[in-house]
């Protein structure tokens, strides 16, 4: 009796590259392409992840679109966990998106006497 064992390697990022952490200014839009990825058996690869509302993944362009614009929910540190899958095996990846907001500033210099009331 013959036995045939089919082997499948998981998808991988080319050159050992992985997604890198991102620091993005609030109220801006940034396109973040994933590093190139492949599959040894030439299976199609799907990227799966759960994302905050202000981040979307474009499966055609293979990039994330990061557009934080709600100050109550979009500022802070967000951990992104994802999978490259060929429907048989998968490779996990992760990166962090930090959304920061610049401190307020005066558009014009203050003129005259300024009184600060504390409390």
pLDDT in tens, the chain (119 residues): 888 777 899 999 999 899 999 999 999 999 999 999 999 999 999 999 999 999 999 999 999 999 999 988 999 999 999 999 999 999 999 999 999 998 877 788 877 777 778 86
User: Which pTM does this prediction carry?
Assistant: 0.80
pLDDT attached to residue 22: 97
pLDDT attached to residue 2: 83
Domains and CATH numbers, the chain: 12-100 (2.60.40.10)
Distance of alpha carbon 114 from alpha carbon 119, whole angstroms: 16
- Distance from CA of residue 50 to its chain's centroid? 10
């Amino acid at each position: 009796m013959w036995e045939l064992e089919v082997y499948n390697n998981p998808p991988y990022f080319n050159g050992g590259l992985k997604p890198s952490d991102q620091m993005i200014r609030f109220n801006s839009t940034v396109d973040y392409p994933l590093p190139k990825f492949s599959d040894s058996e030439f299976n199609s690869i799907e990227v799966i992840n759960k994302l905050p509302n202000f981040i979307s993944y474009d499966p055609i362009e293979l990039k994330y679109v990061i557009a934080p614009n709600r100050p109550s929910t979009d500022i802070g540190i967000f951990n992104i966990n994802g999978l490259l899958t060929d429907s048989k095996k998968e490779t996990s990846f992760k990166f962090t998106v930090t959304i920061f907001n610049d401190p307020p500033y005066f558009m014009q210099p203050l003129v005259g006497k300024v009184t600060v009331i504390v409390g």
